[in-house]
Structure 1
Amino acid sequence: MTLARICVVGAGTIGSLCAGHLARVADVSILVRRPEQARALNGAGLRISGKSDFTVRVHATTDPATLPEFDLAIVATKAPHVATAVSSLTGHSPDATVMSIQNGLGVEEVIRRHGPWRLISAVTFMSGTRRDDRHVEYELDTATWMGPYAGTSTPLPDVEDVGRLFQEAGLRVEVLADLRPAQWSKLIFNSAVNGVAAVTDLPHVALFARRDRESDLGHLVHDLMEEGLQVAAAQGLTLWEDPWKMNVEAVSRGSTLAEDYAHVPSMLADVRAGRRTEADFIQGSLVREAALAGVAVPLTTALYRLVKARDRSFDD
């Protein structure tokens, strides 16, 4: 599969990390919302620092009509904005492949309503911090998992081609024939970690894995993840990775609030900025799947309602 022309939709942290690395091996266009960001990217290029350190030239635009044809589009907006973002691609490059790279469940069906593209699902544990409109600091160079979207005819070799492109660009990738076990691993991890961070105003630190005392936060995080495991088991899924182990390994980079690892999860970043979160696609999707499976998830339901209360407070 030819992958010479890439379109990245959304230039937040993940979109910028993908666009920046891929621009080293392909022609990359970026569709952004704000004219000032497009001007910054077109003027001085996209800078990646941290785990990588380089600046690349990209073509950024706010006008979908000016996008060149593409072989691969990577939709990297947050889940609530996918419908608007993908509608702007309707009519573009019908023979292309589109890869969604969001948190939660359900985004792929939104994309399918807007075009006949081959569809790849992806989840990523890359993370970083946006320093300004054209600069992202790359903090965690962990893998992106990708596979054909379930129920579509996307050939696995096409996904393998995309995986090789990512690897050539310097990004870590695992290609899976069935992505659902990996999606659910991250869903359960994200639902607990992002949600708890959003309602406690705590970054993801060692407190999230500590269970020495009865009052330790790790008990709640663990119990939330156990609820998610019960829902996955009811659907017959064997997870790709253990969410609790993922949590412990992530926070092992630091053991106190003052030490190096203090990642601000996206949901906490949204709350701090007064933006609506992805709760409907993360905790909400887990609550809905639990209801379909007949599994009680009282802690996850409570967490979902707490995060949604924060969301609604931004509308007042």
Structure 2
Amino acid sequence: MKFAIMGSGGVGGYFGSRLAEAGEDVTFIARGEHLAAMQRQGLRVHSIKGDVVLDRVKATDDPASVGEVDCVIVAVKAWQVREAAESIRPLVGSDTLVLPLENGVEAADILAEVLGEAPVLDGLCGILAWREAPGEIRHAGVDPFVRFGERDNHSSARTAQLKAVFDKANGVSAEIPDDIRVAQWSKFMFICAMSGIGSISRAPIGITRQLPETRALIQAMLEEIDQVARGHGVAFPPDAVARAMQFIDAMPAESTSSMQRNIMAGEPSELESQNGAVVRLGRAVNVATPVHTMIHAALLPQELAARGEVPPGV
């Protein structure tokens, strides 16, 4: 299959490199020093599942130069999804799939608003990875997986074909869940709680899950997301919160979320798409979210500063 990877950082760089390693036709959409390094010397992935060295890769900052592809993997930051959707229009033909691998639960809706419903799948991934240097990706934790499906959960030949392609790639587990919304919200539950606690504490998960005080906050965040999800009709199992806590307890002790790393570096983050989304989506179904509301409010001044947005009256 012919793939375009829109956003070639930790997520896009890892999964795109595995597809290229498996012989698929992959073009990385990137910019700046990362793009220059890939064009000059290829892409290197340092991974606990085995390194990938691609001495030559297709890489560009101009999606229009690529032409239509079979699948666009959208792996930009959540706040960049709408802009990305507009820029990938030239990549999307009548049979193209658009697969978002975002941390939030709203990316597919945004993509469908811009591109129409037909090409868009619901999707998610699991991986602890980041861009370590221009042209280099570090995968340090979590057995990488992708999960995707049609937005109404019907079986389709196109998702089966995409899974078959991923199944050929080393270091990737692919699945079409029975209910993609449950899978998506399950991932959102643990990553949002991990992001929130890490961002306000500035500590790795190994510390926050052990201290009784911060563990109680994690538990409260999970329970709030559980109630918001159910309010939106997500068919969570009764033990959804317990499962999320088990996943958090199994994370490498030094793990931090990408949102936490962005906030600690003074960069724009996914605050509005994670803890802010819980507040917003909770309000829509009359579910109170006091812990997420507090975390969102506490981090908002720094977020606005990172984006160069000055609050009124300042």
Task: Compute the TM-score of the two structures, normalised by the length of structure 1.
Answer: 0.87
SS of the residue corresponding to residue 176 of structure 1 reads coil
Equivalent AA in structure 2 for residue 163 of structure 1: K
Q: What are the Cα deviations for residues 144-180 of structure 1, in whole angstroms up to 9, with x where unaligned? A: 22111249xx853322221221121121122124311
Q: Counterpart in 2 of 1:246?
A: 244
Which residue is equivalent to 1:275? 267
1:253/1:8 CA distance change after superposition, 3 Å: closer
Other-structure match for 2:60: 61
Letter matched to residue 160 of structure 1? A
Are 1:202 and 2:194 an aligned pair?
no
Query: Over aligned residue pairs, what C-alpha RMSD do you find?
Result: 2.1
CA contact (8 A) 1:91 1:115 kept: no
How far apart are 1:12 and its partner, in Å?
A: 0.9
User: Is the 8 Å Cα contact of residues 198 and 260 (structure 2) preserved in structure 1?
Assistant: yes
Determine if contact 2:222/2:244 at 8 Å carries over to the other structure.
Answer: no
Mapped partners of 2:208, 2:235: distance in 1 = 24
Gapped runs of 5+ residues in structure 1? 255-260
Instruction: Indicate how the Cα distance of structure 1 residues 236 and 108 shifts in structure 2: closer, same or farther if over 3 A, else same.
Output: closer
Report Cα offsets for 1:194-247 as digits up to 9, x if no partner. Answer: 011111111222x33336x5xx31011101111111222333433267344334
Residues 68 and 93, structure 2, Cα contact 8 Å, conserved in 1? no
Tell me what 2:186 maps to: 185
Matches within 5 A, 1:124-273: 124-139=125-140, 140-150=142-152, 156-170=156-170, 171-205=172-206, 207-210=207-210, 213=212, 216-239=213-236, 242-252=240-250, 261-273=253-265
**Equivalents in 2 of 1:164, 1:243: separation in Å?**
31
Distance 1:252 1:101, change over 3 A: closer
Q: Find the counterpart in structure 2 of residue 49 from structure 1.
A: 46
Q: Does 1:28 align with 2:26?
A: yes
Contact 1:186 1:243 (C-alpha < 8 Å) held by counterparts: no
- Contact 1:209/1:248 (8 A) holds in 2: no
CA distance in 2, matches of 1:252, 1:85: 33
Of all paired residues, the percent bearing the same amino acid is: 24
Q: What is the aligned partner in structure 1 of residue 69 from structure 2?
A: 70
Task: Quote the offset at 1:104 in angstroms.
Answer: 1.1
Structure 1's 75 and 202: CA in aligned 2 closer, same or farther, altered over 3 A? Answer: same
**Distance in 2, Cα, partners of 1:82 & 1:74:** 11
**Offset of residue 60 of structure 1:** 0.5
Separation in 2, partners of 1:167, 1:176: 15
Counterpart CA distance in 2 for 1:79 and 1:175 is 22
Displacement, 1:32?
1.0
Q: Which residue of 2 aligns with 1:307?
A: 299
1:115 alignment counterpart: 115
Amino acid of the structure 1 residue aligned with 2:198: A
Q: Which runs of 4+ in 1 moved over 4 A?
A: none
**How far, CA to CA, are the matches of 1:274 and 1:87 in structure 2?**
27
Q: Aligned in 2, Cα 1:273/1:175: closer, same or farther, shift over 3 Å? A: same
Q: Hey, what's the Cα distance between the residues in 2 that align with 1:276 and 1:46?
A: 25
Q: Which amino acid aligns with 2:30?
A: V
- Aligned mates of 2:123, 2:16 — CA distance in 1: 15
Instruction: Give the deviation of 1:285 after TM superposition.
Output: 1.8
Q: Are 2:194 and 2:248, in contact at CA under 8 Å, matched by a contact in 1?
A: no
Q: Which moved more, 1:244-253 or 1:194-203?
A: 244-253
**Which of these residues, 36, 39, 53, is aligned with residue 39 of structure 1?**
36
For the residue of structure 1 that corresponds to 2:243, the secondary structure is helix
Mark the CA change 1:243 to 1:46 in structure 2 (over 3 Å): closer, same or farther.
Answer: farther
Which residue identity does 1:108 align to in structure 2?
A
Q: Return the structure number with greater helix share.
A: 2
Q: Residue deviations 1:6-40, cap 9 Å, x none?
A: 00001110010111001023010011132x32221
Tell me by how many angstroms 1:115 deviates: 2.5
Unaligned runs of 5+ in 2: none
Question: Per-residue CA shift, 1:101-144, capped at 9, x if unaligned?
Answer: 11112211221233245111111111223221211122222422
